[in-house]
Structures are given as structure tokens and as C-alpha cells.
Chain A
């Protein structure tokens, strides 16, 4: 056996346990692999070691009681027929097949699943008589963050733990760079806005002390005419302030809107462009609804950042500091007294956001669940009615509706109690100012507070409390903003798994032969769907693929189009690994007709030319004619200009399929892939589609998956898959002669289609589908 250098697959067994094992005939020092698990077979945490010796597998663990042995299980290699891992719930098992049963060798929690998947691979090599290679690379795991070791959701995912809030904030600032000039201008305008807001109180003070009540301020009363002139100028000054404030407000608002919407637009486009670059695997892992939220809503948060710079927290902070200085400048003793409730305001608002704000989340959750229930019920209304379940659905809807009502009520009760109470605190500050300041005015002390000062003070006090309340929401806004930004950067930082290599080669264009070489692939960890697939398709050959559901047929096609990357082995097109080919050329060479054709909202013409915008009208007509679609299109009042709805609404299944075939035909791919292209249509449509397919597959390399085996009868070869493996391959006649799985499937289908009841049911089902559409 080669020298083991891996840490994970060559763990150190505690000396005491090694001694005990040695006493029982297990020499850990000569084992070629030792792996540690965290669970015992009773489902409890306990360190258990798998010791792989030359001719047997042994599990050892520290004895729990005197008299117990260290060796838990021993299975000689000669008795083992198969080795595998089996997924449980929250963990898994390493199993060996002995005679006709699987024996659990050890259990592991999901934290160790990666290790034991590797262990199983090594053991399979060992069982096959090969020499397993164990090296330091076995310790590497592309599904873990190289920096902190945290498991990632998939290879190439971004580690959320390593992506800190500060970093997010810095990156948002970098997005602002192109708008730095405008941002600085906006901040200057904020300063002007705050400065203008301070003016009216000073004018009121002057108005009171000079014009309206000069005696109380120790000033000489002015004659009526002079007082009127003063009055006119002061009112004019107030009006000017109002006009200037409005002007600055308009300018700030427009500038903020320009910058905010532009940043949002940039970010939205950036996220969408990145999403279009992501592989199909990415969409398997993420909910499309969540991704839509990221593009549509989270990017809107960028605008909030700009708004905060102009009218939000920046303005509030400047106002708070400036007004605070003015208040203390006017009368520091009074300022100190009236600020007594300020900490209480701050504290109560903090409590509000911590305790009450989360209730808004519940409102959001209840609302989204209500929408979900409503969507389900209305989408399935035919089933609801068919089973007479309207009262039951009414009750289900009612339960969700009650949750929305109650969650709203809980929030609104809290808010309607909180706001008046905080209002009282504000009023207490004002009352203190009135009482203490009023007394000082009445005392007429020389150099003391006069009526004008008091009125100005009260005006400033109102300006001071307003931002104080709002500033307490800073944490909340910041959290929401950083979370949304993080979600955006998470998308932008996720590298597409399917990337084109540097110096990728053009398609060889030799005739499009395809070779699968020992291909292993699984969508989920430790669950391979394809288990060592090898076959060759000659250029122009028509290959049929049959097998039970879940046997890996569609996966073959997904790999062929490089929607996913193979885990092991390789796929060659004209002897070139598809990973070395230019991605767009590869996709250009492979045309796919799916079981559920996806048509976009738009005209029939736009859908047919989807893959080739440069197609001429004559080419479109020819493609539609060849796909047996032309006649039904012409029957529509608007012909090719007929606008079809979401996912092809307004057309029958067969019509949709024929448009998708026309689309594929116009695309003119070297390799054509048909994935159950006729399984969802009635017999008449099927016949039309089959005629079309016959035309477009002639002389073209074709892979066709079909459940109706009769449709594959004319294939050059048929591949029969079972359990992720190719179990039979040959022509229809050869496979029938084999009397294996294909023969059995054909026999079952022949018996079923001969059964009149089945035939009638199948026709009715297809007819019903057509009617529904």
C-alpha cells in the first residue's frame, strides 16, 4: 500500500485504544487507512475508528465497560461484495454487502459525511483489487471555505462567515465612486438645508424682541411705521428662507434621485448579468423567488443608502449637533434641564426597535404565507372543485388570514401605544422649557432669558427631538441595508461553476461524434446519479435512451449540454473534452427539445427565432412547416404575429411542442437532444411531432429519450439505463433478442397498450390535457 499522508484518512488512534486493539489482533500501525467517525451504531456521540487492513475492515472504539472489547466489527475482504455509503436522517452509514444483506460498519453525522464518502471511494478501489492512493489532496475539500473551514453550500460558494459587514460597507462605497462629485454636492446641500432650517427661529426671536414685545427684552418700543417696516422685512426674510429651503430641497431631491436610481440601475444590471452567467446547478440550489427578490428588492436598498446621505441619518446627525450647539448657546441651563427626557426617548425607541420591530417580520411572514396558500388554492381550483373541498380550502385560507390579522393587530397595538407615550416624553421636555424658561422671562433679569429667546428655544427644541427619535432607527436601517447588500454581493461573488477555460478551442466541426468516458455525476453530495457511464455516438447516429424514472437519462443530456460539470470522467465531442471547448460554440452545437417546452411571452415568430435572431422570414416559414407547425399557426387570426402568454399560454401542449421543434430546427444544431418530446401530447399531435422529428433528425447526431419505446424503434442504437448505469446497448432487435430489461419494458408496454381500458384512459388523459390548454 502507498504511504498514507492524508490527515483525515490516516488519523492517530489514541495510544491506549491502539494497545487494546493490538491485544485483540488489530495492528493500527500497519493499516493503510484509518478514519474516525463521531457516532456509534447506537446513534450516540462516540469516537469510533475504521481501520482498513490489507485483508479486512475493522472498527474499534474505547470499551465502555470492563470486559468489553475494543473491536466492534470485523469483516474480511473476501466476504465483502460491495461497499457504499447510505444517507440516513442527519447522518449516514458506511455499509458493506455481505451475502444478500448490507451490514452497517459505522455511522457518522453529516459533519463527517464528506470524509466517509472519500473513505468509501478508497474502499471500493481496495475491494476491486486496486491500490488506493491516499495523499494530502484527500484532505482538501472544495465544499469548505479554505480560510475558516466552514462548509459551503456548493463548490465555489461564497463563505458568509468570512464576508464581514465592514467589508460590505466598503464595497458599497466603491460603487459610489463614479458618482463621487454628485455625492459631495449632495452633502454640501445637506449642510445648506440644515443652516437654512436654523434661520426661522432667529427671525422669530428678532420679531418678538424688536417688533412685537420689545419691552420685555429691555428694548425701546418702535413707532408704528418703523415697526411695520421691520415687520415687512422680517416676514420677507422668512419667505426668502422658505423659498431657498424649497429650492435646495428640490435640487437635493432630484440629485438624490438621479444618483440613487442610477446606482440601483447599475447594481440591478450587474446582478442580473451575473445571474445569467451562473450555471443551471445554481438555480437548483436557490429558490427563484429569492433570486427575484435580490434583483428587484435588495438592489433598491442601494437607493436607500443615497437617501440616507441626503435626507436621512447624515442630515439628522448634522441637525442634532447644530441645534444642540444653538440650544446651549441660547441658554445652557435651560438646555440642560429640557434635555432630561432625551435619554428616556432614546432608550424607549431602542426598546421599540429591539422588541417591537421584529413583529413586522412576522407580519411579512404571515402575508407571504397567505399569498402562498392563495396561490396554491387558486392554481389548483379544478382539483379543489373536483374533490368538493371548497370548505376545507376556505378553512385553510381562514387560518392563514387569521394569522395575518393577528400579526398586524399585534404590531399596530404596540405602535399605537408607543407613539403617544414617546410623544408625552417630548412634551415633557417642552413643558419643562415653558415652565423654567417662562419663569425666567417673568423675572425680567438683566441679561436673562426674554420672550424672543424662549420662543426661539422652543422652536429649536422641537427640531432637536425629531432627529433624536429617528436616529435610534439607525441600527435597524444599517442592519437591513447591510443584509441586502450582503445578499447582493453573495450573488456577485459566487463564481459560476461552469466556466470557459483560457484558450478554449473552437468546435472541431468534424461531424459531431460524442463520447462519454467513465462519467460519474451526482446532483447532491454522496449521491451519484450516473455511476461510470461510457459509450460512443458516431457522427450522424441516432441514439435512443430508455430506462425507468430516476435511472439518469435526463442527467446524461444535462451533462452533454454542459449544464453541469462531471464529477469524474469526461465527455468528448469529436475527441475534444467539452470542458476545453468554447462554451457558446458548444451550446450552439447542441439543440434541445424538452418534454415541457418553454415558450416566452411574445409572438410565435419571436419564439421560433429565439436562438437565431438573424433568421430570414423564409427560413422561419420553412422551419415551422418542417415542424408541422405552419398550418396551425396560420389558422390563428394573427398568424405568426400571434402573441402568446406566459409559458405559451393559449396554445395546446402539442402546438407548443411543435413551435419548440421549429425553434430547434431553425437553430440547426449539430447534435440534437430530444427529452421525452412527445410524452405529453395526444396521439394525433404525437404523430405530427414524430413526422417533424423524423425530418430534422435525419443525418444529424441525435440523442432521444422516450418512454414510449415504439418511438425509438428506428434508432441506430438504444442505450438502456438502470440505477445510473448502462445495462444494455444495441439495436431494437438486438436488445429484444437479449431478453433483458429492454425486452421486459417493451413487453410491459405492449401489454398495456393492448389493454383497451388503458388505451382509452391514455387517450382521455391526453385529450383532457389538450382541452385544458
Chain B
């Protein structure tokens, strides 16, 4: 009984090493209930997998982790890490991209139509990749945080996320209007 361990597919020794997934050793596919599955050669089929960026800002196209929950409140385990997604077949790339899109529900701000400060709240009317959105944000430093060198992630009162990848890339009038209020 002393040697009994919880049955997991990853041994304790494996936990200390990154397992890089390559097209030669694994296949990413859709399995039962439309869930994302990863079949790893000489290992097993992992179901209910989700994708997460290791470096969402610096290396958004690389280092994508495929994770799965082990169940009953235990910690999630990493099936493996994809170093370069593009080396996978297009249909598998598409599946990973879909999984990433599901996990990261972020509006990318393309234009700022209007921004107003009103006693501790910032009202914004913006054009995003998901359409035109109006939202309210608390005027606090932790509600507009740095993203990379010149970007900002804004969190509205519902904690929905809005990304400005590069504030300097906004048209001058919009950039000035934005930085006049979100000056940090």
C-alpha cells in the first residue's frame, strides 16, 4: 500500500520536464461531445483538453500549452507544450486556435469613438473586433493594466476584457483622448 499513488498518466519524474508536442508524436482532434482531444504516441488519448498561451504577449504564436483537468478539484495537468503551432497540419492548427479563442474572450479595440470620465468611472464607446461596444470601467490603475511595451488591457465593471495592443498606434486624436484619462 505504501507505493500506492494516484493514477495519473504523467509520472512524478515527468512533472519536472516540459513535454514538447510535435506532429510526429501527437494528433489533435475532436472527440466525444465535441471536446478537444490529444492522442499522444506511446501514451494515451487525453480528452477535455484546453489550450493556454504560455507567453500571450511576447510569443502569442508559440509556446501553447495543452492542459486538462484531472477531476475532483485536483490541479490541472499539462498534456504538453506546442513550441511552434504552425508546424502542425492546418486542421489541427485550426482546432488549437478555436480552443484559444474560446479561452481568451478578449475584445481588441480598433477605434475609440468616445471616452469620457465621470466621477470615478470611464465611459468608453469603442469599435472592436467583435463589433461596436460601449462599456464602463472604474477609473483605477488596476482596471487598465500594461500589455507588453505600449499596450493596455482594460477591464470593465463586469470584468470583461478589452485590449489595445499598442496605444501609440491609435490615431493621434484618439490616443490623446485616451491618455488624457488613462494616463498611467
Contact = CB atoms under 8 A, between A and B. Distances in A.
Given A100-B71, A723-B74, A725-B73, A490 B160 contact: no
A90 B74 CA distance: 23
A86 B120 contact: no
A163 B160 CA distance: 23
Contacts of B69: 86, 95, 102
The residue among B48, B130, B142 with the most chain A CB atoms within 10 A of its own CB is B48
A56 to B, nearest CB: 13
Contact of A101 (B4, B35, B102, B179): B35
B47 A100 contact: yes
Interface in B55-113: 68-69, 71-74, 98, 101-106
Question: Interface extent on A, as a size class?
Answer: 35 or more
Interface in A501-536: 531
Interface string B155-174: 00111110000000000000
Given A73-B33, A160-B120, A89 B161 contact: yes
Given A82-B72, A90-B160, A101 B47 contact: yes
A39 to B, nearest CB: 7
B179 A89 contact: no
Contacts of B158: 109-111, 113, 151
Nearest to B181: A358
B136 interface: yes
B47 to A, nearest CB: 3
A490 B120 contact: yes
A713 interface: no
A362 B183 contact: yes
Given A89-B161, A101-B47, A43 B101 contact: yes
Given A101-B35, A165-B119, A89 B72 contact: no
B13 interface: no
B121 interface: yes
B41 interface: no
Interface string A82-104: 10001011110101011111111
A82 B48 CA distance: 14
B136 A111 contact: no
Interface string A54-97: 00000000000000000001010000011000101111010101
Interface string A26-66: 00000000000001011111000000000000000000000
Interface string B121-148: 1000000001100001010101000000
B18 interface: no
Contact of A103 (B2, B33, B142, B161): B33
Contacts of A82: 71-72
B102 A103 contact: no
A452 B79 CA distance: 94
Interface residues of B, number: 41
Contacts of A95: 48, 69
A747 interface: yes
Contacts of B161: 89-90, 110
A362 B98 contact: no
Contacts of A161: 121, 136
A364 B106 CA distance: 30
Nearest to A107: B102
Interface string A367-391: 0000000000000000000000000
Contacts of A43: 98, 101-105
A93 B179 CA distance: 34
B179 A358 contact: yes
Contacts of B46: 101
A544 interface: no
B104 A160 contact: no
A361 B104 CA distance: 32
A538 interface: no
A54 to B, nearest CB: 20
A161 B47 CA distance: 45
A698 interface: no
A365 B183 contact: yes
A164 B119 CA distance: 7
B164 to A, nearest CB: 14
Interface in A568-625: none
Contacts of B120: 160, 163, 483, 486-487, 490
A101 B184 CA distance: 43
A160 B35 contact: no
B2 A723 contact: no
A739 B4 contact: yes
A443 interface: no
A482 to B, nearest CB: 7
A163 B119 contact: yes
Contact of B157 (A150, A168, A290, A487): A150
B132 to A, nearest CB: 12
Interface string A105-125: 001011101000000000000
B56 to A, nearest CB: 8
B180 interface: yes
A648 interface: no
Contacts of B140: 290
Given A109-B105, A724-B73, A739-B4, A358 B183 contact: yes
B47 A358 contact: no
A486 B4 CA distance: 60
Nearest to B99: A43
Interface string A288-323: 001000000000000000000000000000000000
A287 interface: yes
A42 B104 contact: no
Contacts of B68: 101-102
B105 A90 contact: yes
Nearest to A368: B184
A103 B33 CA distance: 7
Contact of B35 (A103, A151, A362, A747): A103
Contact of B121 (A93, A113, A160): A160
B105 A361 contact: no
A153 interface: yes
A486 B119 CA distance: 7
Contacts of B105: 39, 43, 88-91, 107, 109-110
A118 B78 CA distance: 29
Contacts of B98: 42-43
A39 B101 CA distance: 11
Contacts of A151: 157-159
Given A42-B98, A73-B33, A88-B104, A102 B73 contact: no
25 contacts: A42-B102, A43-B98, A44-B130, A45-B130, A82-B72, A89-B106, A90-B105, A90-B106, A90-B160, A97-B71, A101-B68, A110-B158, A110-B159, A110-B161, A151-B157, A151-B159, A153-B138, A160-B119, A358-B180, A361-B184, A483-B120, A531-B73, A722-B73, A724-B73, A747-B2
Interface of A: 39, 41-45, 73, 75, 81-82, 86, 88-91, 93, 95, 97-104, 107, 109-111, 113, 150-151, 153, 160-161, 163-165, 168, 287, 290, 358, 361-362, 364-365, 482-483, 486-487, 490, 531, 722-725, 739, 743, 747
- List 4 A-B pairs, minimum CB-CB distance, nearest first: A101-B48, A723-B73, A101-B47, A91-B105
Given A97-B71, A104-B35, 9 more contacts: A90-B106, A91-B160, A95-B69, A101-B48, A103-B33, A150-B136, A364-B183, A490-B120, A722-B73
